[in-house]
Amino acid sequence: MVHHKYLLLSFVISLAAIQGIHSVDYVVTNTASNTTGGSRFNKEIGSKYSKQTLTNATNFTWKIFQQKTTADRKKVAKVSLFIEDIDGVAYAANNEIYITGVLFHEMTHIWQWNGNGQSPPGGLIEGIADFVRLKSGYVPSHWVQPGKGDRWDQGYDVTAWFLDYLNGLRNGFVADLNKKLRTGYSANYFVELLGKTVDQLWSDYKAKYGN
Ligand SMILES: *[C@@H]1O[C@H](CO)[C@@H](O)[C@H](O)[C@H]1NC(C)=O
Ligand SMILES: *[C@@H]1O[C@H](CO)[C@@H](O)[C@H](O)[C@H]1NC(C)=O
Ligand SMILES: *[C@@H]1O[C@H](CO)[C@@H](O)[C@H](O)[C@H]1NC(C)=O
C-alpha cells in the first residue's frame, strides 16, 4: 500500500493504493465535511471532479512513462483519496490549478517505480512526480524558474525542471529512467541513458541558464 499526504492549506489530501489486477477503482472520502476545509473541498472541487482528475492523471502518467500495457504498469486495483481537516491552519485561497496539479503529483507517486528497495534519492522521486505535473500543465505560480536550485536532487520543482532539460536531451528520458527504477537504482543510470554523470549534467544545466 502506498500512502501519501499533501498539505493543501486548509485540508490534507492523501492517496492510498490497493494492489490488484482489475481496472482501477477510485474512491473519494471526505472525513472533514463538517469543517471549513472539508466543506470548501465539497463546494469548490467535489468528488466527481476529483475522480475525473484522478482518472485523467492516471492516463496521463501512463503516457508520460510510456507504459502501454498492463505488464508495464504497477498493479493497482483501487485508489482512495482522503480529505482530512487540519486544525488551526489559516483559511487561504486554493485554486483549481493548484489542486489539480497536486492530484497529478500524488497520482504519479501511485504509479512510479521507486528503485525496488535500492533507495533512489527522495528528491528524484519527488522530482519525477513534479515532472509529470509540469507536463500536465498544472504548474502553480510559486514554482522556481527553470535553472534554479542548488542540487540536482533537491526535489520537487527544482528537480522537475532539471528532468525536463534531460528529457530534451533524450526524448523519453524520464520514461526510461522510471523503467530502470522498477528493478533498482544507480546513479550510473544517468550515464547509461545520457553518456554523462548526473553531476556533469547538472553543471551543464546550470551553465545553460547562466547560474
Ligand atoms: C458532523 O456534525 C454532525 C453534527 O454535529 C455530527 O453528528 C456528525 O458526526 C459530524 N460528521 C463528521 C463526519 O464529523
Ligand atoms: C479529463 O480529461 C478529459 C479529456 O481530456 C477532459 O475533457 C476533462 O475535462 C478532464 N477532466 C478533468 C476534471 O480535468
Ligand atoms: C484514457 O486513455 C485511453 C487510451 O488512450 C482512452 O481511451 C480513454 O478515453 C482515456 N480516459 C480518460 C478518462 O481520459
Residue 128's pLDDT is what?
Answer: 98
* Ligand index nearest the alpha carbon of residue 100: 2
The sign of the CA dihedral 158, 139, 67, 113 is positive
What's the whole-number mean pLDDT along residues 174-194? Answer: 98
Residue 12's pLDDT is what?
Answer: 65
Q: What is the mean pLDDT of the chain?
A: 88
Q: Which residue has the cell 483519496?
A: 81
Indicate the range of 1-5, 26-30, 82-86, 193-197 predicted with least confidence: 1-5
List CB contacts of 160: < 8 A, sequence separation 6 or more: 127, 128, 130, 131, 133, 134
Instruction: Please indicate, yes or no, whether residues 66 and 146 belong to a single structural domain of this protein.
Output: no
Q: Which helix (DSSP H) or strand (DSSP E) does residue 140 occupy?
A: none
Indicate the range of 22-31, 111-120, 161-170 predicted with least confidence: 22-31
Which of 92, 111, 130 is the last residue in one of the domains? 111
Instruction: Please indicate, yes or no, whether residues 60 and 153 belong to a single structural domain of this protein.
Output: no
Show the domain range for 174.
Answer: 115-211
Determine if the pTM surpasses 0.75.
yes
Whether 34 is in the pocket of ligand 1, judged by its Cβ within 6 Å, is: yes
Range with the largest mean pLDDT of 41-50, 66-75, 92-101 = 66-75
Instruction: Please indicate, yes or no, whether residues 32 and 103 belong to a single structural domain of this protein.
Output: yes
Distance CA 7, CA 200 (A): 34
What's the whole-number mean pLDDT along residues 86-95? Answer: 53
Which strands make up the sheet holding 11-19, listed edge to edge? Answer: 2-8, 11-19, 76-85, 25-30
* Ligand index nearest the alpha carbon of residue 45: 2
CA of 79 to the centre of ligand 2 (A): 18
